[in-house]
A = this chain, B = another copy of it.
Amino acid sequence: MSTHPAGPSRFDHDTAVTRLDATTWRAELDGGWSVLGGLNGGYLLATLGRALGEAFPGKPHALATSVHYVSAATEGPATLEVVPLRDGGRVASAQVLLRQGDDVRVAGTASLGDLARDADDVRTTATPFDLPPRERCVANTAAPAELREVAPLMQRFAMLFHPEHVGWAVGEPNHSGELSAWFRLEGEREPDPLALLLAVDALPPVTFTFGTLGWAPTLELTAHLRAIPVPGWLRIRHATRNIAGGLFEEDCEVWDEAGRLVAQGRQLARLPRG
Contacts and interface: CB of A to CB of B under 8 A. Distances in A.
Interface stretch (A117-125, A149-157, A191-199): A117-125
A126 B71 contact: no
Given A104-B86, A107-B93, A117 B68 contact: no
A112 to B, nearest CB: 10
Contact of A246 (B68, B118, B242, B244): B118
Contact of A224 (B85, B108, B227, B249): B249
Give the interface size class of chain A: 35 or more
A121 B68 contact: no
A123 B212 CA distance: 14
A177 interface: yes
A136 interface: no
Nearest to A90: B246
B244 A124 contact: yes
A79 B70 CA distance: 25
Contact of A85 (B104, B125, B219, B261): B104
Interface in A46-104: 63-64, 66-68, 70-71, 85-86, 91, 93, 95, 104
Contacts of A177: 125
Contacts of A67: 66, 109
Contact of A66 (B68, B85, B93, B104): B68
B107 A95 contact: yes
Interface of A: 63-64, 66-68, 70-71, 85-86, 91, 93, 95, 104, 107-111, 115, 117-119, 121-126, 177, 219-220, 222, 224, 226-227, 240-247, 249, 261, 264, 266, 268
The 3 closest A-B pairs by CB, nearest first: A66-B66, A64-B220, A126-B241
